Structure 1
């Protein structure tokens, strides 16, 4: 690539970047600039101006040959630009820079650029030292731009004073690198142009050496950049770790400090002796000793823990006694009224009791009287001065730092509030607040809940690195921050040293390359120089016409189609360099479909057409439409063609867009009309003809009056013409008439069309047929009228459950006027909490799933009264099944509920009376049965017990005789056991018939059952039976525990004997409330609805109860055991004991096998109505 191409390309690049930067300032938000990357193009306006100035000046300086005008323009631009940059440099150095904030280092680089440009233009063939100076000045600018680019690429900090001071350094760095490269190329050409030209062999050697140097330099710079980038990452990680450690340490210290203060308050919170002393003082205000002790106690606590003030308040918040570090009089506390509702400690956040007063925190605690139902006697307040300990704790920093500080903030509405005095802003506590919208501030991010390490701008407007950490159990957030400049200062020094090292290596290599280049340039031949001079003279005119042409031009061989010459415009337009063009043919820039025509033309040795339109292909594959003009010529003894190319792609695209626009209007679903200024039709699209029913022949030359219905008010047409004649757009509805006489509605947008002079030449109207929409609006109005008249509650909500409509009945219920805002109406604030949860969790999801949900609910009217409603929720969905809106219709069920409650009450009374009668009948039957058994037992006991006693005495006498043989002893033992069994049966009958008085006392059913199990534990272990107990929450019973223990021993013993060996028994105890579901079993019919029972169920996995035995289980003397192993009275006695307690007992088989014994006992004096509880389904 020639030096001129490099120079011009770099100059164009610098100017283009400057133009784009100025455009981004002039047109913010332009989509084209946003697509190019507005952030990357951003630079100060002064920097953009200097970029454009020097870029254009470089183009002037690169002209060949350099005429006097171009030289003067270049010197003027360079001198003026250097002077402007020098002024900006001084302003920036003294912090007096203009509002564009150009950096001093950038201004200095532009000064060097201007000096380099002036020096290169001041050089000549005989005076080359200005060009040499310009070269090294340009090299300095290139190095500066490269350093800035590398720093931006690897995110490396720059040394102090080198910061670009702008958020987009890449664009500024690119401009500097481009200007430096262009001037280095231009000055290098001037320096070495006077020396000898390099031959082909030396040129190839020098190119190879330059390539090696470029690769080596790239590797050195890349390795250095990667190493430094990793060093930055490690250094940054260490800084973040230190900040996190600081903020974590301080957060823990704050949490510990808060816990200690709460511990101080808790020490007095439920202190029996302290409360007794307070009560003594309050009961007798004249008890001086009590008040003295109380004051002394508070004084000791204040001095021991460093509180600023301690007060005791009465229940109204009035101070009774206070001790403080000052002589201030006792005062009340505005937060004391919060304690009775919570009964807990309260730590009041940072506050001022009065405007401009001192800062403080407060601990409030109730003083509980443990002897009087835990009644609060008063309240204790502990006042804390944060300046004594808390602020110094926050302010301390573990290492020396010029900018590090710790901030304590909290969110206050839409602001972040600073709670401590800042290092660089005094008296900021509770007075400095900044909006949460400043998300570039770490404090705002912390208040919004973000944690960890962030970069941002602090309250001073200075970039900082900050660690964010909330203080546990508080609304406070800690921010530990340090200025970014302080953090990167050591990195900048490291970068400086590394840059010097890399620069030294590169400078040494560049020096060797320059010496080699200079040596090779000295090896030239005078003959080649003379030949070149002759060629330059012969080609001067050609160059002027060919090279300077703004349109692409080339010369190609008519035989082989190879390019012989191309101008700069062709290279720039097609994307190929001159070297690349020299290796191409015309076929390479033509589409594949044109190749056959080109090959035929070459074969027939035909000349190309003088003028034709074809398509070309650029290097990137883009196809363009061009018009070419070709002429034949002789080029170095070859038959050739010279071609001038005009790119007409944009023109054809505009024509195509016009055709597309025309088709769009023709095929538009909206009617379109264009008239002249008198309103006469000049164009209508097919949609208008379809809607109106007219043909174009019928409308030509007429006005829209042909479709007027006469029903639109005249004022509408006057407003229409008044708007469009004045150049404004008019929008509105018109009622028109079709050709067949049918009326229809249209929504029209009518706009004036103006020519280049701003004169109105036509009017265009776009019309939409809204007849169906009008009909729907009228139907909707009728429906709304019905909804407004109904007494039922009707509402509608969108898919996000936001209420959009309430009918008058609904507004009346909720206390809203006809025009009141309803955006605040929601399900939670219109229903009681449980009902709202039911609707949100069940009702609405069911309606969305099934389309509808019906049920009963409660509404809260304007007074807060709960209104029972019969509610229907309907989800209205579109064709895709997506919910469009949700409607609710509710009917007031107050009267219905009142009537239903009355009937339920009467029914409950009837059932209670029926239960009492049934219970009395059962008790009477049981009493009769016991009396019959008693009479039988009395007779049997009288007739049998005396003979049994004689038999027992005789057996004992015979057994003691010495002459009694062993076989006789066995017979006597059998007789003794038989007589004992008969005696037990008679005793059991007597016990069964007697109604023993119950010794009732409070007892837990679990303890009674556990005692019975303990008594049978030997038998349980012996038979390897596992007893599992499942106890629910049961109330205490007022029963005879000893008798009930006998019942459970009988039932457990029956279960053990039924299992035999290796089985399991489950004992379940629970509490139920009798309701409608429990009244089916005969046993529970004895109890009233709402009465509370305790149920104990003993379940075994034995063989169960035989069907033929079920009716005899409670009969006296009935037993399924072998003869001699049971009396058959255990269940009868157990039933008698349970019924004496007013309960029931039943036996049944379990579905899974085994038997179940159920005992139900009444909870004396407790009845609950309409309470939800586990009914214990059996």
Structure 2
């Protein structure tokens, strides 16, 4: 840029040289003057603020000292022996007179209490001392009053032992009228207790507020003319203008808070400080009268005060603000004094600079003209030659007048081969040559300004390089464009890397696998669109969070720990996750996680490539389930054929045996001996038992199609009970039935459902064989509505010994039984029939002991 300015601009004029000297020196003089001014103002302000802060602190100390003295006096009188005597003996006139004299003497010596009173627990004044303008006297008994209805008496009596009550700072009122002249007053009181710990009354001071205000002003006489004491609500308790004081008590609108609203907002929200506004300098401090007293007693180790109540109903301690206000007019006087004292000095200095700058400019202009031309070429060439970037200078015709070693090294040319040659014919690729000529012409004619461009150039060997150029113009002394100098950088590799990165990014964005990149702590930094499509989470929702957002809870902490151990060590981890989508759905994904390293081989990120294998897992599970069903079906089919063969081969012999026994049974009883009759009956029973087994085998082996009809549930269950009535009677079992009224009808096969419930009742009866009490079977039916589908549930419960919970999964398997008798086909047959009816069955423990079989059947019609 310096070379451009040197070559373009004509020799500087005297006025310009003069301004180059005068303006900086003037700026320096102004800076010194301004710094001097602000230093003086800052010093004056610091001095003023320091003085104001010290005086405000003294004023605060004056208030606090007075308050401590009053509390000290109150606690001192509360400990007088004469007072204790009167508290223990309320009717002792001698004790009352002695205490009255003590109070009178105390009032006369102190001179700061308008009244000292001892009131009984019912509010009656026992003793009252009136100060009476320096003539204290004991009020006669007949003039004593009852104060039980006064707020200050009630608040004082509410204090615990050692507590102190302080009323708000207000004006004294006599006979309902504010005394004139004003008499500010604060009432201090403490409850009194006799030797037995009984609360007997209150000791109360009427503290003369003018004494407090007098101490307040005497403590800071230097700022008395602008010192203010403001209460919690922003009204003056004391101020420079007497007419502003006690405005809140007189119902006036004017207050400090309204007069200075901006300042008051800051004062009321801060404890202390000093600041300047358009209204002047405000220095303030906050005093909490009762808090200050409590802190004093606590720090001094005095334990006579347990609490202090300041007379306000809210719980926060109330405060007074001590404010010093220095008006803007006084602050401005300091600034005016500075200008009066220093204006002449700085005016003379300015005249000296004016004359000196002119002389120096006139002498230096000649030397600059001589040096400028010599240094221009030298600095210009050195700068371009020594830089680590390529540089080339073209004249207005596009001929090369200069090129540095960096450009020659990159392109393979020698300097003598290119100097004086046309840049566009030598370096610019043929396809870009015309466009480059147009751009060059627009710049050299002034129609366009130089700007950063990217263009391709060819090397001596024919290789094409991509350069980024920044150009600047040089002007002759006549103001015409003489040369164009361009500084460029080879960005070929950078452009190739960016192009590869763009292709890789596009491949990741378009990948059908979800891709996620996290930092080394697992915080997500990138997800591709497929990830959002799969999980439902957008990039904004997951960025900065960890993958535990997708946890379903099925992967153990041990597996996660092993995962982290593997990738932290720089190894790849592959595994399968069962994760949760944003909408709560679960999905399976095959995941490959690998570390990403920087140039120093440090792990900086982790890359996770995830493939959704939910459908694959579902199909795999479906194939496994179908294979299991096929194996089971093949087994049952083989068992069915065997059962059919056995039933066919045994049924005819059994029928012959049964017929023979029945024919013999028709013979007269007398023809049979007792033992032979018993053997005959046993044989018949065993034949019937074997027929039942064969019937179960055939039923299981060759299930029949349904013949559904609408059934009355109660009649169906009664029919099933009747089927097993003989066995129930033989075992002495008691059946309890519980059917709700208006139970809906059921669509099903009556014969098969009767077999279901007969089998379940028979099983319940068998379960009570080993109990020592009366077998009981309870049958209960009810209607349920689950997922808007009405069903009928029938519970058949027994009071037997129950079943082993570990056998629940096997009870419905064919031929499984826990008893010596039976085929183990009863419950499988029941389940098969219920499956045909789209029903369900479950076995669970009965709350009263035993087992319950719960059958659930849909009410709607089923296919036959």
TM range (shorter): 0.3 to 0.5
Larger-Rg structure: 2
TM-score (norm 1): 0.28
TM-score (norm 2): 0.36
